[in-house]
A and B are shown apart, each in its own frame.
Chain A
Amino acid sequence: MKSLGSIRRSFAPWADPASVPFIAVRNVTKKFGNFVAVDNLSLDIYPREFFALLGASGCGKSTLLRMLAGFEQPTSGEIVLDGQSLAGIPPYRRPVNMMFQSYALFPHMTVENNIAFGLKQDGMPKPQIAERVDQMLKLVKLDKFAKRKPHQLSGGQRQRVALARSLAKRPKVLLLDEPLGALDKKLREETQFELMDLQQQLGLTFVVVTHDQEEAMTMADRIAVMAHGKVIQVATPPEIYEAPNSRFVADFIGDVNIFDGTVSAAGPGAVEIATEAGFKVRLASAEAPAVGTKAGLAVRPEKIRVSRDKPSCAPLNAAEGEIWDIGYLGDMTIFHVRLKDGKVIKASSLNAVRAVEDPLGYDQQVWISFDENAGVVLKD
């Protein structure tokens, strides 16, 4: 069997102008009274893609998912699935299935009847239903629980039944609303990888709604970061993390230090910014903002070094401060370093060796520094 990784590495239909989107959301707006839940939103999702809608609660991600499922109708705009407009098509005639956040398992039916529900509805012959249910139960490793009722299952098992039920009809698209939200951390991490494998194995298009950035980063091919009914950025997880297109995205995904400053020099391939924290930063940047404009600078904690000695790059990309707080997490240590102007920045360092001689302690005078390609310039 071909490794899934090799398929995944080359999977980037969004980069190919010739590829046709499977789901096309075109200028969709959804209003509830005066409240605009989804605001003139456009998106393309490609076949076999694992697509995540990520945002805080109330950002419109669930409303968008419900419009894909057919439970809400767009106030304006259009959703096209596989070349067919979904306008006016009720949920029960859409070739999509949804896995509900609450799982919505039918409490009066056994596990197998829950899974068979949609198949019976389609009038599939009985022996075929039995076969498909069997297959689904094996897929989610619940073959021993076929005769149980939902209330006799654990949370993780219920989640699997919900998944099996939504996959039983072989939908073209599977919509997942916070699929792992109700599971504990360990189970959630395992299930993330299982979902990814399943999606690859079945070759389906998955659209998942989540507020958990780690979940989105782990599973998705691409992430759409949403806020106030709009998509702020659509990109692959590394792009979202390393090249956020805005202060909002930089701040929303992961930990970040943002320095405000003014562009003091801009040359080909590099920008110099005088930060309000009192030091100068030189960054590799393809874009060159005009000299004198305000700019933000985002540097992730793991890209900041903390040292006792003055780094060689000083005074560029370096500042003096004292250690304010230390958080030991096992795999790494988080330092909060207070700069001279009072700004506290976060730096994390990997604990690659077991015993460090003379580790950094509280109140020590240290230098922080980072490389020219460690930060991202944010235009506001």
Chain B
Amino acid sequence: MSKFGSAIFNRLVIIIPYVWLTVFFLAPFFIVLRISLSETAIAMPPYLPVFNLADGISGIVEKIGQLSTANYEFLASDALYTNAYLSSLRIAVVSTIVTLMIAYPIAYSMAKAPTSIRPTLLMLVILPFWTSFLIRVYAWIAILKPEGLLNQFLLTLGVIDEPLIILNTNWAIYIGIVYSYLPFMVLPIYSSLEKMDHSLTEAAQDLGCTPICAFWRVTFPLSLPGVIAGCMLVFIPAVGEFVIPDLLGGSETLMIGKTLWNEFNSNRDWPISAAVATILLLILVVPIMFFQHAQAKADGEGK
């Protein structure tokens, strides 16, 4: 009886994530995909065809025939979208690298700190989450604007003669993204560094490595899983980021999140914005799948 019960329990535990992904990822994705293959219309909802169970099977088959890839062809033909994708990727790559360079030393010193103060340090990293993300981004406006805190401070020190124009430039976007996503980079790197056996670096030194060499040959390679996890956690949301470029960036900054927003809200072109979202998803998911596959293969080698 209990054995039977536990078998059912095990099944349930496995099923839960699948159900979750199906309901909250796969189903919405197919809805978006279907809209992206539709045509704009002045209607409610603003696209055609609209599937309706009342049409019967033959009606649905007929409507499937009306779907087309015209929206994707349009995206490919208009340089605006390509540029927006490329610019988003560039901004995301640069911010990910900058975040990594700031987060790694933070995570490293946290992992090297006395065990007694580590929980406090961890708490400090998570602390910003206590405040709303939106409020924190607004706060950066107050800091970065021409008459803002940063400029006042630098002017008082005499470092600069006239205010720096940071707000509404790409610089502000980089600052915003790096600041907002820093904890997502620090935490996985910290967790991979923290569980590392300290005697490994000692062994490297014992075998003739200077501390710097021991870091590059032993510590860093072993923290790579954390680095990769952190980079994904920063890169993926950064590509589609909308709030930060909208609030901190200038009008000339082209990011795909903002483009999508415009298509959806200003133009009310649901099919085009659905196509933009689908492409964005493919850009992010396909390389990650290849990467995971390669990783699994590398792990399996030699077994």
- A positions within 8 Å CB-CB of B: 69-71, 90-92, 97-98, 100-102, 104-108, 110, 117-118, 121-122, 147-149, 152, 165-166, 169
Contacts and interface: CB of A to CB of B under 8 A. Distances in A.
18 contacts: A91-B205, A92-B206, A92-B207, A92-B209, A98-B206, A100-B199, A100-B202, A106-B203, A106-B204, A106-B218, A108-B222, A110-B302, A118-B207, A121-B208, A148-B302, A149-B302, A165-B207, A169-B208
A28 B208 CA distance: 25
Given A98-B203, A104-B200, A117-B204, 6 more contacts: A90-B210, A100-B203, A104-B203, A105-B203, A152-B303, A166-B206
A121 B302 contact: no
A106 B200 contact: yes
Contacts of A118: 207-208
Interface string B201-229: 01111111110010001100110000000
A265 B204 CA distance: 61
Consensus secondary structure, chain A interface: loop
Given A91-B202, A117-B204, A147 B302 contact: yes
A303 to B, nearest CB: 43
B197 interface: yes
Contact of B209 (A97, A98, A121, A152): A121
B197 A102 contact: yes
B214 to A, nearest CB: 8
B210 A92 contact: yes
Contacts of A149: 302
9 closest A-B pairs by beta carbon, nearest first, are A118-B207, A104-B203, A121-B208, A104-B199, A91-B205, A100-B199, A92-B205, A98-B206, A92-B208
A166 B206 CA distance: 9
Interface string B76-93: 000000000000000000
A93 to B, nearest CB: 8
B213 A121 contact: yes
A99 to B, nearest CB: 9
A329 B203 CA distance: 42
B101 to A, nearest CB: 22
B215 to A, nearest CB: 13
Contacts of B203: 98, 100, 104-106, 165
Nearest to A98: B206
A70 B207 CA distance: 12
A102 to B, nearest CB: 5
Interface in B58-108: none
Identify the interface centre among A69, A70, A91, A97: most chain B CB within 10 Å of its CB. A91
Contact of B197 (A98, A104, A152): A104
B205 A90 contact: yes
A243 to B, nearest CB: 37
A97 B206 contact: yes
Contacts of A102: 197, 199
Contacts of B200: 104, 106
